Structure 1
Amino acid sequence: MSKKLYIETLGCAMNTRDSEHMIAELHDKEDYDVTPNIDEADLILINTCSVREKPVSKLFSEIGVFNKKKKEGAKIGVCGCTASHLGDEVFKRAPEVNFVLGARNVSKITQAVRKDKFISTDIDYDESAYAFSEFRNNPYKAFINISIGCDKKCTYCIVPHTRGEEISIPADLIVNEARKAAQNGAKEIFLLGQNVNNYGRRFSMSTHEKMDFSDLLNRVSEVEGVERIRFTSPHPLHMDDKFLETFVNNPKVCKSMHMPLQSGSTSLLEKMKRGYTKEWFLNRALKLRALCPDVSISTDIIVGFPGESEADFQDTLDVMEQVKFEQIFSFKYSPRPLTKAAEFTDQVESEVASKRLQILQDKQEKILDEISKTRLNKEYMVYFEELRSNGMLAGKSDNNALVQIKGKEEWLGKTMRIKITNPKRLSLYGEVVF
């Protein structure tokens, strides 16, 4: 009988892909199969996030719950970004944990399960050329890492301290992975990296051909069976004209762009060490809208960053008004360990930051209401990839709108023309156009 693995994944899409890698390695080399039932698991993994404070607090709460529920002899492993920055402190705070595996050490998972109190959190470890075993949670969409680590020094961000220096994964490995996924039925490829459009800056092998992200997009689009390509996250600093033109002109690249703004204030962007100005961000976003009118643009925004004045906050609202983002991920600033911003003495009062966050989110709701009205009776090509518990089929349009219809399970993995009959802020409801 195979052993049972229970895994909980916190955080971003890169964590989701890391979890898939660990599942594949454990299945092929240690005979583990995934179970949704924690009480029958022989191994419990928590793949952690440390970008914000809440997931870190949740980790130790979850460990306590899992320790009470697990069967006798079952192991608990802590993996991911929080494992990287806490290291052996995890053992001190939660002695029931059997091993700690950092975000840059995923390929060592089989070593970790074999040795009690195993720890590996080396952020300089290079597994960019490691060929992982194959597993995907979703047969219709394939996440593929194109780089590991991050070279940016944003003053609020802990990622460089948990995932290390940026290294691009060889293009041949990426293309081969896309080819395998397409052969197994995945028509949509989702390329992942901390700064995807900085791809090619550094490879671990000096013999690698010169290639940037635009070149990689074109290479992946040539793979037979690949119909759609998405990616996250690009960095506004690296959105040169070649990148924008490739995005617009390659028909397989989906017309949705995530542009992490963080703040609309040039002075705060400098303090954050983002490397661009308000004017540069607006230039790129508005050029993108001009080149591709149907594009959807999403963003990340931090409110209450140290030193943020009312004028700084108004600059952020101004960018929102000019760009009219189709989606925002907005957060109140929270100091993270190992980051420069945590040392700043001009922290914004929590109450002030909370009020600004509410104002920002209220504004975004009004923008979404305006956008929703324009979508009534529009038709979209939608790739369906999920059958929901309420019987609805869910999928994404080319420009990343979530679309739901009443349909048949055999429509999963197919792209269909949908007319929108009931547009909502967060989801569009429609019917098939035959």
Structure 2
Amino acid sequence: MKLAELAKELHITTDSFIKFIQDFDLELSECISTDFEVKEDFARFARENISFLKNYQKDLEQPKTVEDIAGNISQPADKVAEVIRKEKPAIYENGVYRSSVSSFGVDQKLGGDYNFVYNYFGKRMPLAKRDFIGYRDLFFYISKALDPFANENTTLTDWGIHRPAGIILYGPPGSGKIFWAHKIAQIIGYQFKEIKKYYLGTSFVDGNETSFNDFLLETMKQEKVVLFMDDFDNVMMERTATSSVNSCDEETKEIILHHIDRFEEEELLMVASANTLTGIDREILAPGRFDVVIPVFPPNVQERAEIILYYMTKDLSDEALLKQILEKNNADHLPFWNEISARMKVFSNTMLIDFTQSLKKRIRTQYLKDNSLDIDIKKHLQPALREASAKLTDEYFEQMSRFIKDISVNNYDDFATRIENLKQELQHYRIVEKPRQAIGFTHNSDSK
């Protein structure tokens, strides 16, 4: 059963279900699958607690002030305000909240007793068995953008909303844009196909001349394809008086613009990856073309800890030596990694993988030297962190600053908390110059 079907059965909106999962910090893998199939436990919970969920929805939709929420949950207004300010900084100053703020969600964060929710589900799914870690906000945001695929008939006939022809995933290098392109294909049930660099322009395959136009026409003949293109911001760069454009890239752009009106009819969705939206030709971003832009963030502090643990334990057998060493250090649980994760500000997914690889090599080297499982992992954290930090270059920081500018313009209201946290983490690396002392002798008047 799809989430939309459960929502229709219980007369509870899909958006309310999504907000409930986020408010109560429920693990996605315990609630729904990537293609929005509802898990058995979650469906049973919803049916047995329909009164609570209806009250949750009613509260969510009702306009309310800080004082209203404080009265509803019997909590001090200043504490309620602090939760809203932290969770929804973009709307805090508006005064009256609706649709995006739940009294129940605020109460839960202030220690309200909701054990009937958490006790209902089975054991927390191991990290290694999850579809992905964290990023619930991004997953649901992408799912909403893909709603015309899931509910094609109603979105088109009731609302006149067409399926997007193109989507741009933008974010700094190493943040997982190709991962999310694959997820998009899974969510809508399309096959994934990647445009290789050598497909662009004209090339020879088995002695026959072929072009990108030929490739695109052939792809459109196939059923339900997500066509992925990397380096989109460079290929689709706008030609100006100060910037030249590669003739091959210009030809690729013209071919895509020529065929893009047929993408929906041919069940083709083009998903592109870009480091930035700045400089992309405005014709490409026009309505009906690549008018859906989705930011892909570096992981936050909690997600970093989960990713580290995931890659430290990935592919290990039950009797693996590394697994035994992790267990001896209590490093097979998330709390062990929280401190080092907090120091990995603005680290990309790639940097986290580099860190785990470096750490595993260092642990193995010590094991081979001492032939003992009594290894203090904490001694190796700093050297591994230093090695992974090598990718924190000036260029990377500049890309991160540009990403923050892009998302602040295009998606601030959707990801305000992530953006503000990312700004703070990036600020950590900024060097404030000390005032320079004036050249020459210090006069008596200067020393006063």
TM-score computed with the length of structure 2 as normaliser: 0.28
User: Highest CA radius of gyration, 1 or 2?
Assistant: 2
Higher strand residue share: 1
Higher helix residue share: 2
TM-score computed with the length of structure 1 as normaliser: 0.28
